[in-house]
Amino acid sequence: MPFVAALLPSLSAALHGNEWLEFGLIAAGFGLGVYSLVRGYGQHKRVLPSIIMIPALALVGAELADLSGGMHILLPIGAGLAAISQFLNFRYSTQVATCEC
């Protein structure tokens, strides 16, 4: 699954200009992100990754809806926030899995 998620940006860059493909890749990334956050929350019960993911999705959605006014900076910022959110989710999940309480 991480391999598929890692391929999404490179596929988008290679096939730039096809709006439906770009929308499909963003939708796939959104689905994977939400799925992993829901599963992670079930393990660690921390909301910080979800709180970080909300503005990330808003920025990516604003870029997709072309609300950036041609500045095209919202997508990288949103993707960076999503990556931070997923990193925290993974870290919290592994802390719970290795806890010897």
Least Cα distance to 56 among 17, 35, 29 occurs for 29
Share of the chain above pLDDT 70, in %: 74
In 1-87, the DSSP E strands lie at none
Give me the pLDDT at residue 22, please. Answer: 74
pLDDT digits (tens, 9 = 90+) for 5-31: 666 666 656 666 667 777 787 888 888
Please give the structure tokens belonging to residue 61: 């959605």
Cα–Cα distance between 33 and 86 in angstroms, integer?
Answer: 7
pLDDT digits (tens, 9 = 90+) for 47-74: 999 999 999 988 888 887 777 676 678 8
CB 62 within 8 A of CB 71: no
Cα–Cα distance between 35 and 14 in angstroms, integer?
Answer: 26
